[in-house]
Amino acid sequence: MSEIRKLIWDGALNVQICVDDTLVLKGTSTTERLLNVRIPRDTYIVVYLEGMLKKLQRFLRFDVSEVMSKVWFECDGQLLPWYYPMGVLFDTIKGSNSKKGELASEYSINVWKIDLKYALSLPRGHIPIVDEVDQIRSYWMHQWKQACFILNGSSKAMMSLSIKEAKKFWKSVINREQDEFDKVSAKILSRRPQFIPLILHRTNSDLEKIQPTVSLVNSNGSIKKLLNVLLEVFPDDFTNGMFSGCVVSQGIVVSLEDDMFNLYTKLRSFDGFLHLIVKEIGT
């Protein structure tokens, strides 16, 4: 198990950021607007926003602090909501219409091209960054409070963290310190949770998000499997008892026979949630 958790923690994506031409000085070449970065799957892309802008500062028309609240990320014209983990964005946006057999080759793409857009009016679905990294940390802490509430029936375990522990927890995400992260998260996670913090992502144009209530067992006492959850949430996606899509988490196609608690334990994200991307196969 620890090996799987380590692979997930270390997972990263090669990304090429192309900065909006309205953001740079006249005469800046296309090459100068590009930035190649490697971003962990288990973090928010926006954590790296200030650093990206600072790297490009000499080509920018404005100060970094002026533009932080007026920029967002897009891929092929589609907004990338920064408040989902980077790996979730990749798994959701890339190959939404792929066929099952094509997933392997699709995942061998080694550079993901993303646009950094700039405008005074922001697109629907984007949370503006108005308080730099403090806002990102606060958003992430709220996600954990919610996950803690779903797991334990109260947010007390999360609220009981000392200021020092809470700071260490966030720092472990920024500095990619898995041991520190595991130490603090162990205080929040439960061996026998009431429910599982789960977010299902659809790969439609609205990037629909569904947060069902998922217990560990079915009403007949049997262990709850992914198949049971899909049957409850997406009954119309089954034909003759067969699910017409596939489910991806942390870049891996998961088995519908996997039990939900096992999936949570192995594949949960750095925000305390298990993110499952429900993909349509072929259209």
Cβ-based nearer residue to other proteins, 54 or 156: 156
Shortest distance (Å) from residue 224 CB to other proteins: 18
> Judged by CB, which is closer to other proteins: 179, or 206?
206
The partner residues of 96 in beta bridges, in order of sequence, read none
Please state, in angstroms and rounded to a whole number, the distance separating the CA atoms of residues 174 and 227: 35
Helix (H, G, I), strand (E, B) or coil at 97: coil
Nearer to other proteins, 14 or 138 (CB): 138
Least gap, CB of 3 to other proteins (angstroms) = 32
**259 neighbors 224 (Cβ within 8 angstroms):** yes
Q: How far is the CB of 148 from other proteins (least distance, A)?
A: 8
Q: What is the binding site for other proteins (CB under 8 A)?
A: 69, 81, 83, 124-128, 130-131, 135, 138-139, 142, 145-146, 149-150, 155, 158-159, 206, 211, 213
Residue 76 beta carbon to other proteins: minimum distance, rounded to whole angstroms: 19
Ramachandran area for residue 68 (φ above 0: left; ψ -120 to 50: alpha; else beta): alpha
What are residue 7's DSSP bridge partners?
none
Shortest Cβ 81–other proteins spacing (Å):
7
8 Å CB contact between 17 and 49: no
* Calpha distance 49→188 (Å, rounded): 29
Our CB check for other proteins shows the closer of 153 and 282 to be: 153
Closest CA to 151 of 229, 214, 60: 214
Nearer to other proteins, 62 or 149 (CB): 149
